[in-house]
Chain A
Amino acid sequence: MFASIHVQQIPANLSLPEFAYNFSPVVEEHRPGTVVIDVDGCELLFGSAYQLANEISFRAKKPGLEGGLESTVSVAIAANPDAAIHAATRLQGITFVSPGEELTCLGEFPVAHLDYSLVNIEKKVADEILETLKLWGIRTFADFALLPVAGVSERLGQPGVRLQQLAAGKTERHLKVKPPAPVFAYSIELEHAITELEPLSFVFAPLLHQLCAALNAYALSTNELRVVMQLENRTSHERKLTLPHPMRDHKVFLKLLLLDTEMHPPQAAVRSVSITCEPVKPRVLQNGLFVPLAPAPDKLELTLARLAKLVGEENIGSPALLDTHRPDAFTLRRFTLNTKAANNRQLAIDNRQCLGFRIFRPPLRAVVQAEQGWPMQISAWGKQRSVYGKVVSLAGPWRTTGDWWRGDRWARDEWDVMLEHSGQQAVYRIYRELKTETWFVEGNYD
Chain B
Amino acid sequence: MKAALSKAELEADIAGRLGGDVFKVHEKPAVETLSTGIPEIDALTGGLPRGAISEVFGHASSGRTSLMYSMLAYATTQGETCALIDTNDLFAPAAAAAAGIDFDRLLWVRGAGNLEHAFKATDLLLHAGGFGLVILDIGDVAAKDTRRIISSWWYRFRHTVEDRPTVIVVVSEEACTRSCAALTLELNGAAEWSRANPHRFVAPRNVMPMRKQTPVNRPVNRPSVTHGNLLRLNTIKVNRQRPLSPSLNEVRFGAYHNASVR
For residue A436, CB closer than 8 A to chain B, the reply is no
User: In the bound complex, do residue A292 and residue B80 qualify as a contact, i.e. CB atoms below 8 Å apart?
Assistant: yes
Q: Interface 1/0s, chain B 77-108, versus A by CB < 8 A?
A: 11111000000111111111111101111111
| Contact assessment for A342 and B77 in the assembled complex, using a CB-CB cutoff below 8 Å | yes
**A354 at interface (Cβ–Cβ under 8 A)?**
yes
Q: Which of B140-192 touch A at CB < 8 Å?
A: 140, 142, 165, 190-191
Interface size for B (C-beta < 8 A) is 95
- A133 to B33 CA separation, bound complex (whole angstroms): 87
Which of A300, A304, A349, A356 is packed against the most chain B CB atoms within 10 Å? A356
Chain B residues numbered 103-152 whose CB sits less than 8 Å from any CB in chain A: 103-113, 117, 120-121, 124-125, 127-132, 139-140, 142
**A-chain residues with CB within 8 Å of residue B208 when the two chains form the complex:** 323
Given that A353-B202, A356-B230 are known contacts, is A361 also in contact with B193, CB under 8 Å in the complex?
no
**A325 and B203 within 8 A (CB):** yes
Is the C-beta of B48 less than 8 angstroms from some C-beta in chain A?
A: no
The answer for the CA separation of A418 and B193 in the assembled complex, in Å, is 8
Residues of A within 8 A of B104 (CB): 318, 338
Mostly helix, strand, loop or mixed at chain A's interface? mixed
Question: Is residue B217 within 8 Å, beta carbon to beta carbon, of the partner chain?
Answer: yes
Pick from A332, A358, A399: contact of B65, CB below 8 A: A358
- Whole-angstrom distance from the CB of B88 to the nearest CB of chain A? 7
Q: Given A310-B121, A319-B96, A295 and B66 touching (CB < 8 A)?
A: no
B230–A427 contact, CB under 8 A? yes
Cβ of A112 under 8 Å from chain B: no
Q: Does B229 contact A (CB under 8 A)?
A: yes
A349 touches B73 (CB 8 A): yes
Kindly list chain B residues whose C-beta atoms are within 8 Å of the C-beta of A359. Answer: 90-92, 95
Contact across chains for B190 and A354 when beta carbons are under 8 A apart: no
A320 partner, pick from B67, B81, B103, B127, beta carbons under 8 A = B103
User: In the complex, A358 Cα to B67 Cα: how many Å?
Assistant: 12
Chain A residues within 8 Å of B201, by CB: 355, 357
If A338-B105, A355-B199 touch, whether A398 touches B214 (CB-CB below 8 Å) is: yes
Q: Which of A295, A311, A361, A427 contacts B191 (CB 8 A)?
A: A427
Please pick, from B106, B109, B111, B191, the residue contacting A418 in the complex, using a CB distance under 8 A: B191
A390-422 residues with Cβ-Cβ distance < 8 A to B are 393, 395-400, 402, 413, 416, 418
Interface of B, secondary structure class, is loop
Contact residue among B63, B67, B130, B228 (Cβ-Cβ distance under 8 Å from A299):
B130
| CB of B25 closer than 8 Å to a CB of A | no
A354 lies within 8 A of B69 (CB): yes
List which A313-348 residues lie within 8 A (CB) of chain B: 315-321, 323-325, 328, 330, 332, 335, 337-338, 341-342, 344-345, 347
> Which residues of A are found within 8 Å of B193, using beta-carbon distances?
393, 418
Is the beta-carbon distance between A373 and B67 smaller than 8 angstroms?
Answer: no
B227 touching A295, Cβ below 8 Å: no
Chain A interface residues toward B at CB < 8 A = 291-296, 299-300, 302-304, 306-307, 310-311, 315-321, 323-325, 328, 330, 332, 335, 337-338, 341-342, 344-345, 347, 349-361, 373-374, 384-385, 393, 395-400, 402, 413, 416, 418, 424-427, 443-446
Residues of B within 8 A of A (CB): 37-39, 59-70, 73-74, 76-81, 88-100, 102-113, 117, 120-121, 124-125, 127-132, 139-140, 142, 165, 190-191, 193, 197, 199-204, 206-208, 210-217, 219, 224-231, 261-262
Q: A316-B107, A318-B106 are in contact. List 14 more A-B contacts (CB 8 A).
A: A299-B128, A318-B108, A321-B97, A328-B94, A344-B102, A347-B77, A349-B77, A353-B197, A354-B99, A354-B100, A444-B60, A446-B60, A446-B64, A446-B139
29 contacts between A and B (CB under 8 A): A292-B78, A293-B130, A310-B120, A311-B121, A315-B109, A315-B112, A316-B109, A318-B108, A319-B103, A320-B93, A330-B94, A337-B81, A349-B37, A349-B99, A352-B73, A354-B38, A354-B69, A355-B228, A358-B65, A358-B139, A395-B224, A397-B215, A397-B217, A398-B213, A425-B61, A443-B90, A444-B61, A446-B64, A446-B230
